[in-house]
Structure 1
Amino acid sequence: MHPPSVRSERLVSPTGRGYLQLESHPAGCFRGVELMRAQVPAPDAPPARRPTALVIGSSAGYGLASTITGLVRYGIDGVGIGWERAAGQRSASAGWYRTIAAATIARDLRSNFVFRNADAFADSTKSETLDLLEERFGGVDYLIYSVAAPRRTDPRTGITHQSVLKPLGEPHTTRNLEFADDGTALLRDVTVEPATEAEKAATVRVMGGEDWSRWVTALAGRGLLRDGFRTVALSYIGSPLTSAIYRAGTIGAAKEHLESTAVTLDALLAGFGGRALVSVNGAVISQALTAVPGIPLYVCLLRGVLGDRFPSPVEQSLQLWEQLTADRPDVDERGRIRLDRWELSAAVQATMAERWRSVTPATLTELADVPWFRTQFRALYGFDVPGVDYAVPVATDLPWPGSPAR
């Protein structure tokens, strides 16, 4: 998989500090997507009919993994939506390059899958996407909602809501894994002040189920839901070790709203023989989760416990598609698909609790897989990916798939 030749080429190196990275490497992002594709087994037989999927958040994390899995194993057509930055003085965002690579997979597989670079929260994006779905496909079988955003402008009010990652009720101090400029791993205590009620409400407006519900009701209003339509929103619960800032914090309040939205949508879809579900996925290294204090250390320790048994996003996405396409999805008592049982098993969490209590700067490399974590994090931006020669200049100003070359 090679990028098209556009404008001049240059060397691209990591730029930024800590978990804030400002440059992405096109060839590394391309190669990373190739490696994801290699994890997906070919279908047992060609599908009798290509299902149509709408993936919101298709350029990163589980949304990207679900898109690649759907293309390779389930033969999907449809639309993927991401919101990524084009190249300027710096490279484009990593999701921009990953989308080019995913579009190449779709083309190789002769899939009619279109990628849009647009704000999924905007009514204009919904209207234009529904027009495209109606014109090209006539209906939708699956909607995967995988959005992690710092802010959302409500198109009905024009108000921009800002999400925060804070505990509720009282301050919380946790240890976090950070990296010095030379790559040295550091343990730091981080104290986060509690959110106000306004901050909690704003986080729910950004990360809750409101926008997911608007997508589903818009599809229903246009008559685009096929019989048996299924939609899933991706969520995370995580460990009690990180719950004060995550599940018991502002983001947890948003996830609770997402789950209550699923109940409402599930009742709406019953008339189509459809389902609305929440999938509780396991931990992963993503651009969103590394922003949560305590999560980087937790994931690093979790890899130390599990080693190669730590499932990749693609492996979890394969399980997600199995549940989406099953006659009767395997759900818990609250109707949620649970892909996190490997993480929250009693044995794993008991070992994690012991390591969390005992980890110090002196024992960090013994108890946690620091090299793996740093490599995986840098790979999010296309660096440290095996098989890429970073001494070779690359073109960074590449067009979004389907748009004319500049």
Structure 2
Amino acid sequence: MIVAPKILNNICTTAHPLGCRKEVENQINYVKSKGKIKSNVKNALILGSSGGYGLASRIAIAYGLGAKTMGVSLEKAATERRTATPGWYNNMAFSEFAKKDGIEELSLNLDAFLNASKEEVIKEAKKFFDGKIDLFIYSLAAPVRTDEKTGTLYRSALKPIGKKYEGMGIDFITEELLNVSIEPANDNDIKNTVKVMGGEDWELWTNALLEADLLAENAINIAYSYIGPEMTKAVYREGTIGKAKDHIESTAHKLDKEMQKKINGHAYISVNKAVVTRASSVIPTVPLYIGILFKIMKNKGLHEGCIEQMYRLLSDKLFINGGDIPLDSVNRIRLDDWELKKDVQEEVLNAWKILNQDNLKELADMSMFRKDYMNMHGFEVEGIDYSKDVEI
């Protein structure tokens, strides 16, 4: 089958198996080029390990720390008429390269929100790991969650709170600037978003692992968050998603106390940089902000994608030689430190104020955003012949 990108409303519904494989290989090669990081981590569990920061975490941990990794994600295999999801191909590629490189790994295709999945993971972890889990990464980015007790389906909403949002956005495929208007959230929108994207499930997972005696002495437990700049605040940090992020951050304090008490371990939030993900591409205003940010950070030699960020999380934050983990005033790890540098944000704001259709190409690099997005689905990857038939 010849696989081409199919894009509807800025969402790509196909994935190229060889392109996804090459992208995984590129990330592995980046970590190999940077070298090993000294740590005591032998076993790591990564939830949401099939794409974005979760996949990059897994690659950095496996190849940077030399740890055994167990990855959990929910992906769809190909059918006769449809390609698999990008994450399906990413998981296959990671398993293939890890096996070739003598790195032990196990990938499970499960809905991490379900209790049965937690039980399955715990059962498999006891068989797979030599000893207990030293590093637990929670990187789920699902839009829906079912409450097993009631059968209620919760759907996250991407809305401002308090008042209607009106601002500038972009169609990143056509590079046409748009006026964006979003009605404010109601109470249900907020509750549902916190239920899906907040810290409740992270807490359930942590407690399940503690009860099963699977977290090692001094284990580290990490979930990811984002803060962002002034111009995305109304739709992001001060909107419904922001409420979910507040919830996951307050959960971190609770889990940190629990882990300190039980295993002398720690739970942290890592606030990461804005990158192109399937989620960030559909948040109004965010792709345009990222396009400006990428251009400025690239010019300053500060640009990072998911794999560069996750390698730096391990090398410069979690496992600095003999040093304490650097934290902000509310105990968060800040990997958005380069993004939020004063000079970077000043330049972003200056560009934002004068941006129009005529100077867009000069002030923002939307082609870089678009390439990252296509690469994520296995398209526009160097070295792949897209005119050839491929097995899906």
TM-score category by the smaller chain? over 0.9
| From 20, 26, 33, the counterpart of 2:11 | 20
Q: Which one of the candidate residues 57, 68, 80 is aligned to 1:66? A: 57
Aligned residue number for residue 6 of structure 1: none
Counterparts of 2:171 and 2:21, CA distance in 1? 27
Does the CA contact (< 8 Å) of 1:78 and 1:133 recur in 2? no
Q: 1:372 to 1:170 in 2, by over 3 A?
A: same
Distance 2:41 2:225 in 1: 27
Between 273-282 and 155-164, the greater mean CA deviation after superposition: 155-164
Q: What residue number does 1:241 align with?
A: 231
Which of 104, 108, 111 is the equivalent residue of 1:112?
104
Match of 1:175 in 2: 168
Please give the residue correspondences for 1:94-105 in structure 2 after superposition, counting only pairs within 5 Å: 94-105=86-97
In 2, distance between residues paired with 1:390 and 1:21?
A: 16
Contact 1:379–1:385 (8 Å) recurs in 2:
yes
SS of the residue aligned with 1:241?
helix
Letter in 2 for 1:360: N
Match of 1:41 in 2: 32
SS in 2 for 1:344: coil
Counterpart AA for 1:301: I
Which AA in structure 2 matches 1:254? A
Is 2:378 aligned against 1:378?
A: no
Q: Is the 8 A contact 1:42 1:73 kept in 2?
A: no
Deviation at 1:112, TM superposition (A): 2.1
Q: Distance in 1 between the 2:34 and 2:275 partners?
A: 25
- The correspondence for 2:351, drawn from 355, 359, 375, is 355
1:387 matched to 2:387? The reply is: no
Single out whichever of 372-381 and 164-173 deviates more from structure 2. Answer: 372-381
The aligned residue for residue 274 of structure 2 is 283
Find the residue that maps to 1:143 and give its secondary structure: strand
Give the partner amino acid of 2:139.
Answer: S
Q: Note if 1:325 corresponds to 2:337.
A: no
CA shift for structure 1 position 376:
1.2
Corresponding residue to 1:187 among 177, 190, 193: 177
Structure 1 residue 165: Cα displacement: 0.5
Question: Residue 134 of structure 2 corresponds to which residue in structure 1?
Answer: 141
Retained in 1: the 8 A contact 2:41–2:134? no
> Which whole-Å CA distance do the structure 2 matches of 1:45 and 1:200 have between them?
42
Change (3 A) 1:78 1:35: closer
Q: Deviations over 1:21-67 (max 9, x none)?
A: 11111111011111111111368669797611100010010001010
**1:226 aligned to 202, 205, 216, which one?**
216
TM-fit CA distance, 1:303: 1.3
Instruction: Spell out the pairing of 1:234-313 with structure 2 (5 A cutoff).
Output: 234-271=224-261, 272-307=263-298, 308-313=301-306
Q: Report 1:85-100 matches (<5 A).
A: 85-88=76-79, 89-100=81-92
For the residue of structure 1 that corresponds to 2:238, the secondary structure is coil
CA–CA separation in structure 2 for the residues paired with 1:114 and 1:60: 16
* Letter aligned with residue 334 of structure 2: R
* 8 A Cα contact 1:167 1:250, kept in partner: yes
Indicate conservation of the 8 Å contact 2:249/2:269, yes or no: yes
Instruction: Give the secondary structure class of the aligned counterpart of 2:177.
Output: strand
Do the aligned residues in 2 keep the contact of 1:163 with 1:207 (CA within 8 Å)?
yes
Partner Cα distance (1:198, 1:23) in 2: 32
CA distance in 1, matches of 2:206, 2:371: 38
> Which ranges in structure 2 are unaligned for 5 or more consecutive residues?
none
Distance 1:318 1:45, change over 3 A: closer
Distance in structure 2 (CA, Å) of the matches to 1:341 and 1:50 = 25
Among 132, 139, 148, the residue aligned to 1:155? 148
* Counterpart amino acid of residue 174 in structure 2: T
Per the alignment, in what secondary structure is the counterpart of residue 268 of structure 1? helix
**Paired residue type of 1:188:** L
Q: TM-score when scaled to structure 2?
A: 0.95
What is the SS of the residue equivalent to 1:234? Answer: strand
Q: Distance in 1 between matches of 2:150 and 2:227?
A: 31
Contact 1:332 1:338 in 2 (8 A): yes
C-alpha distance in 2, partners of 1:91/1:377?
A: 17
Name the % identity.
38
- RMSD over aligned CA atoms reads 1.6
Q: Does 1:201 align with 2:198?
A: no
**1:94–1:334 CA distance, 2 compared to 1 (3 A):** same
